[in-house]
Amino acid sequence: MGLRRGKLVQQMPPSAEPDHLDAPKPAPRFPGTAFDVVALASSAGGIAAIGHILESLPAGFPAAIVVVQHLDPRHRSLMAEILRRRTHLEVVQAAEGDHIRPGTVHIAPPDRHLLVNRDGSLSLTQSELVHFVRPSADLLFESVAASFKQRAIAVVLTGTGSDGSLGIGAIKKMGGTVIAQNQESAEFFGMPAAAIKSGHADFILRLEEIPPALVTLVAEGVVR
């Protein structure tokens, strides 16, 4: 099933923190899953790639999905409407204060960074561009890593540039799993190539291999 980088090992959860009234709420844990959130990132060619992944996932996919796709900030995005026609999953454009939900796809709006907080809520910010882009895959991945630690999956898909190659380092540092699309199936190989070159990709897969890998990872924590 494609080239596998290293052996996937489920990390032990961190020790419980002391109870304090003002302590942040822990990240939500969805029942029956080894991973709670899947973060997808793409640029050029990404809408078709993301559409293929979403249409191939079952209606009962038990993890939440968050998406960064580089879009023209000058125009209203129709991405949620386009993808909604191709999948049984619920697809929404992310809004400030929304909470991630199993089986729901939250898409970053144009010209806003998308962050996932520890309590599962979403934040949108128009802070400065990161490596010339907004939304930034690096910021999304870093927020998901900080909030969900070993229960997060990052997927780097077709696109130009290197966005995401730094953020996947945070995913790996916290014990999460990283998938990169392979060169043969990527319309533009810049982003996946940068992710692979970083050394943090656990799996390098053809586009059509990614949905079944996500299903088995989320359900069992391994790819068979």
Which residue has tokens 């144009």? 110
Active site residue 42: no
Verify whether residue 70 is a known catalytic residue: yes
Closest CA to 214 of 42, 7, 4, 53: 53
Selecting among 70, 106, 113, 200, the annotated active-site residue is 70
Specify burial of residue 37 (Cβ count, 10 A radius: 0-12, 13-18, 19+): buried
- Catalytic position from the list 36, 163, 200, 202: 163
Residue 163 annotated as catalytic: yes
Candidate list 43, 136, 143, 165, residue with the active-site label = 43
Catalytic site positions: 43, 70, 163
